[in-house]
Chains A and B, each alone.
Chain A
Amino acid sequence: MSLFEHSLRELKDKLHSKEITVTDLVNESYNRIEEVDGQVQAFLTLNKEAALKQAAELDEQRGNDAAALFGLPIGVKDNIVTKGLRTTAASQILDNFEDPLYDATVVNKLNEAKSVTIGKLNMDEFAMGSSNENSSYYATRNPWNTDYVPGGSSGGSAASVAAGEVPFSLGSDTGGSIRQPAAFCGVVGLKPTYGRVSRFGLIAFASSLDQIGPITRSVEDNAYLLETIAGYDNMDSTSANVEVPKYTEALTGDVKGLKIAVPKEYLGEGVTPEVKEAVQAALKKYEELGATWDEVSLPHSKYAVSTYYLLSSSEASANLARFDGVRYGKRTENAETMLDMFKRSRSEGFGDEVKRRIMLGTFALSSGYYDAYYKKAQQVRTLIKNDFEKVLQDYDVIVGPTTPTPAFKVGEKIDDPLTMYANDILTIPVNLAGVPGISVPCGFSSEGLPIGLQIIGRHFDENSVYRAAHAFEQATDFHKQRPSLGGASS
């Protein structure tokens, strides 16, 4: 049995009692990567030499150090900056960014908690995509069936955990980029409330929507990691000065009296019968556990995808202006003038989806179109946010599917941007409203692909989201299933 079948807290106890070593855990990661990453392709950069050195040092302090993540091996999405460790955001324009100058705040927090960074995880370039096919290196595959996508953009973060390469990872979520791959790969992924986790050192895509969050095998592990990475940071002016609760204490297993809202728009057109059935079975399980649910409406849901693409692309067009071939990243050869250098460096460095979104955003922000597109979308965002706030006045959580369908095949949607975008229809509204949302495993399709249940809560009420997710998880065994990757059972 893999050591990673144990929870993070169990592993911590085993280290403390000297039953295992940090080196055992780190080797477990690299052995599994050696065994299956040729198929899964979850990692872009490995930190092996430094990680093994750190493991040996930590082993000296074993038993004497109570740091929260002492000796636990973690994978980090490649849009989170790591000092001295190559960080590319899966883009050619950062292909040579070997030596970042500082750590993101979340990485500082991991370091203080003494986890061991195993490597950097593959993603859609600059987090733009829902399948990992937009990575400029290679597409990560779904560990449950490598003909299928793992989802995106945090596809590497979800697939690495599902494949047993690391017990936990960090992803980022702008329109579903943690929850959708977590659903597709059968793991647990949380997008925290906007402002809950510092974005300092996260390579910005859409700053008003981006959040870093944990991807794990269980809800308990998820809550445990969030306790470490959440909190106010004076390096991020949009981080919230709100106390961080002990999320693990919310995991009582008791949901008696919990009031659940089920938006009718989340079980409508486009949601496959198998996904609907899995969600309905989950609601039945909640009833058995003593919770109640009612159908509600989030009437502006159908406008969320348009709103999201206008706003996120506008913000991206500004954020990605910094990649200009001057201070870091790749520069084109033999440019004659500054303008020529900018244009050629960016055109050679960015992939098609990134260019498309930069151009869409530039268009939406340009003179004569700003009010019609950008401002209009900001106003519709208010309506969407109001929908959530209204429902969450009367209910503790909102429950529905994470995605309308299970994972799709590699190559199936890559040629049509709008079809690809529709895949995020149930996750995008949560980012627009800024509320927290989690995906937990709730079933399998007839093809054996995981299905995810999405649970959404009030601003800064991750506790209710975790409590509901944990109670469901403990009453079911979907989270205990493992893909039969590499022929070996993990």
Chain B
Amino acid sequence: MSRISKEDVKHVAHLARLSIKEEEADLFTKQLDDIITYAEQLNELDTEGVEPTTHVLDLHNVMRKDEPKRWVEKEDVLKNAPDHKDGQFKVPSILE
């Protein structure tokens, strides 16, 4: 039984802000289904009560003082922008 349908792939692509073509959707459906099917081997393991590991260091809530400091200049930030106007990033209309 396949775990992932073509509809799932299209939905996930939308969530990830990717537009994919019909033939790409077919290929990704098969490949993602293969990977997820393989990953289901994890269900062989009983993990009841096992703490999840997010990362391996014993660090929690690393805080620093909230002090403003000079980092980079605005005009430098805009140098790599695809489009900008009046010192701000310019983008297409957000509301249709």
Identify the A interface with B (CB < 8 A): 96-102, 194-195, 207-208, 234, 237-238, 240, 300, 302-303, 305-307, 309-310, 317, 321, 324-331, 335-344, 346-347, 350, 355-356, 358-360, 362-363, 366, 373, 375-383, 385, 417-418, 432-434, 459
Identify the B interface with A (CB < 8 A): 4, 8-9, 12-13, 15-20, 28, 31-32, 34-36, 38-39, 41-43, 45, 47, 50-57, 59, 62, 64, 72, 76-77, 79-83, 89, 91-94, 96
* B42: min CB distance to chain A, Å: 5
A359 near B13: Cβ-Cβ < 8 Å: yes
A329 near B82: Cβ-Cβ < 8 Å: yes
* B1: min CB distance to chain A, Å: 15
Specify which of A302, A327, A358, A378 is in contact with B53 (CB 8 Å cutoff).
A378
* B43: min CB distance to chain A, Å: 8
Assembled-state Cα–Cα distance A344/B52 (Å):
36
Which residue of B is nearest A342, CB measured?
B17
A326 near B82: Cβ-Cβ < 8 Å: yes
Residues on the B chain within 8 Å of A344, using CB: 19
* B29: min CB distance to chain A, Å: 10
Known pairs A303-B41, A360-B35, A380-B45; list 8 more (Cβ under 8 Å).
A101-B80, A102-B72, A309-B35, A328-B81, A339-B17, A362-B12, A375-B52, A377-B39
B56 near A433: Cβ-Cβ < 8 Å: yes
Given A237-B62, A358-B18, decide whether A303 and B45 contact each other with a Cβ distance below 8 A: yes
B32 near A363: Cβ-Cβ < 8 Å: yes
Given A238-B55, A337-B92, A376-B47, decide whether A324 and B17 contact each other with a Cβ distance below 8 A: yes
Residues on the A chain within 8 Å of B13, using CB: 359
* B51: min CB distance to chain A, Å: 6
* A457: min CB distance to chain B, Å: 14
Specify which of B28, B32, B42, B92 is in contact with A307 (CB 8 Å cutoff).
B42
Give the 3 A-B CB pairs with smallest separation, nearest first: A434-B56, A378-B52, A331-B82
Specify which of A327, A356, A418 is in contact with B89 (CB 8 Å cutoff).
A327
Which residue of A is nearest B20, CB measured?
A347
Residues on the B chain within 8 Å of A376, using CB: 42-43, 47
Which residue of A is nearest B34, CB measured?
A418
Residues on the A chain within 8 Å of B15, using CB: 362, 366
Assembled-state Cα–Cα distance A347/B16 (Å):
10
Assembled-state Cα–Cα distance A272/B57 (Å):
35
Assembled-state Cα–Cα distance A338/B90 (Å):
10
B32 near A356: Cβ-Cβ < 8 Å: yes
A306 near B38: Cβ-Cβ < 8 Å: yes
Residues on the A chain within 8 Å of B35, using CB: 309, 360, 417-418
Residues on the A chain within 8 Å of B62, using CB: 237-238
